[in-house]
Chains A and B, each alone.
Chain A
């Protein structure tokens, strides 16, 4: 027992509204940390998946086939204009009931896609719907004349895309991309609604068990989320600065 935990144990006894339980009780600390870890994992998965889906979608949007373009634009409009929370509920409850399940021991039925899985799918699709448009506008911002110059140098279509169009488009769309990814990370807290044991869920369950810890835990929640998002946005801003090219983009 160190001085700090003694102090907070004492504080909890003196003032019943300020019980910093996770500073002296190991099991409470573990709950918070496991919640944070789930939030981080969910965020990383959703960010990566939304980038991949967003990229694929932006490619499909320029497809020759009308049906592919229609499919993508339908997807975009639905996911951009409905609440992410309702999307989560719809995926988990409405679509979730059709998920095939398996039985490892012959007794219990475990669905193939868990609530965490549905949260990852639903949030990735939500984030990707915005990424599609962001990537597309970035690609459109690359002047035709620049790709034409590459064409005149005998570069293949793939080379032009990977070396010229994509790197330039990324520079153009990075600010918009950053703010969308940040928003996506914030939205992962809504997975609370389908009982994904992420940070908000663990915190809320903690203050349900120990009502006295409500204020400190809310404070912690705010600090941790603002910190997490701050780190992400700082990282993205550094990336933006590193990739900045004189005379191109903002």
Chain B
């Protein structure tokens, strides 16, 4: 006999009082708790929290001005170089000539697959430390090599962004332009690029954030940026383990403060531009 049987009463009580209490905890309170854990742990050492923070306070302006701003400088220069290169390579990816496309594709695949740190190593160690042009010795400092090394993977990825954006414009636009007897170059610059430049901005910003977060890699190769200076500061203060947490924490916080707004804005622009497609 087909009967619909009630199986069981749905459980109504699930520790609601506890969870509502938990849900009422404010975000900053959790953050405070998370902060307290390591602080508590290392408060048992010889150096107190206040000492460590005082030392950090002393060094902070130097670390920001000489360290972090240098990271920003490296990222801006790399991004400029990478974007320029990337647009050129991106145009080869949509070229009519097979050979050019092949070269572009191979190059981008290579630089997208190689780890950033390995590329940095290669550029820093394989290039000479100075050039001789017209009998003049031009120094080629490490940080400029770092800018070049970082710009290579950026260029490869920007090339892909450019290609994606150009291909997102309906092919009817190309045909319409062709029927108005525009040349291919004219079509590209006057019709296609203006339409897709907006769409390139969010991924471009995303790559900028990724690049910025790659700049500490230069410290491994001796460039005097944030992480290198942080290490040197800790050394100057006697290399006490109590300094590790606040100093490295400070680096994390700085990068977070710089990259988080970029990430937020990227997401916002992505949404904004996506609707208008």
Contacts and interface: CB of A to CB of B under 8 A. Distances in A.
Do A and B interact directly, with beta carbons closer than 8 Å?
yes
Interface of A: 64-67, 70-71, 74, 77-78, 80-87, 89-90, 93-95, 97-98, 182, 186-190, 192-193, 200, 204, 214-215, 218, 221-222, 225-226, 229-230, 233
Contacts of A89: 227, 248, 251
Contacts of B118: 189, 200, 218, 221-222, 225
B23 A218 contact: no
A82 B122 contact: no
A190 B217 contact: yes
A78 B244 CA distance: 18
Of the four ranges (under 10, 10 to 19, 20 to 34, 35 or more), the interface on chain B belongs to 35 or more
Given A67-B23, A85-B217, A233-B113, A98 B256 contact: no
A49 to B, nearest CB: 19
Contact of A192 (B113, B117, B263): B117
A83 B244 contact: no
B126 A218 contact: yes
A-B CB proximity, top 9 nearest = A186-B115, A83-B213, A229-B113, A81-B259, A189-B115, A94-B244, A94-B245, A90-B248, A66-B23
Interface of B: 19, 22-23, 25, 27, 30-31, 38, 41-42, 109-110, 113-119, 121-122, 125-126, 209, 212-217, 219-220, 227, 241, 244-245, 248-249, 251-252, 255-256, 259-260, 263
B40 to A, nearest CB: 10
A94 B118 CA distance: 25
A182 B209 CA distance: 18
Contacts of A192: 117, 220
Contacts of B263: 77, 80-81
B216 A83 contact: yes
Contacts of A84: 213
A66 B125 CA distance: 50
A111 to B, nearest CB: 13
Contacts of A74: 27, 30-31
A67 B249 CA distance: 24
Contacts of B212: 83
B27 A86 contact: no
Given A98-B38, A192-B220, A70 B27 contact: yes
Contacts of B42: 97-98
Contacts, number: 126
6 contacts: A77-B260, A78-B252, A83-B214, A192-B220, A200-B115, A225-B114
Contacts of A80: 263
- Give the secondary structure class of B's interface: helix
B241 A226 contact: no
Contact of A204 (B23, B121, B259): B121
Contact of B220 (A78, A187, A193): A193
Given A70-B30, A77-B260, A86 B216 contact: yes
Chain A, interface SS category: helix
Contacts of A204: 121
Nearest to B45: A97
A94 B245 CA distance: 5
Given A67-B25, A70-B27, A189-B118, A98 B248 contact: no
Nearest to A215: B126
Contact of B19 (A65, A86, A186): A65
Nearest to B261: A81
B113 A94 contact: no
A160 to B, nearest CB: 18
Contacts of B252: 78, 82, 86-87, 90
Given A77-B263, A81-B256, A225-B118, 15 more contacts: A81-B263, A82-B252, A85-B219, A89-B251, A90-B248, A94-B248, A97-B244, A186-B114, A186-B115, A186-B116, A192-B117, A200-B118, A215-B126, A221-B122, A226-B109
A82 B227 contact: no
Nearest to A182: B113
Given A70-B30, A200-B118, A93 B248 contact: yes
B117 A190 contact: yes
Nearest to A78: B256
Contacts of B30: 67, 70-71, 74
Contacts of A214: 125
B127 to A, nearest CB: 12
A65 B22 contact: yes
B213 A200 contact: no
Contact of B255 (A83, A98, A188): A83
B160 to A, nearest CB: 10
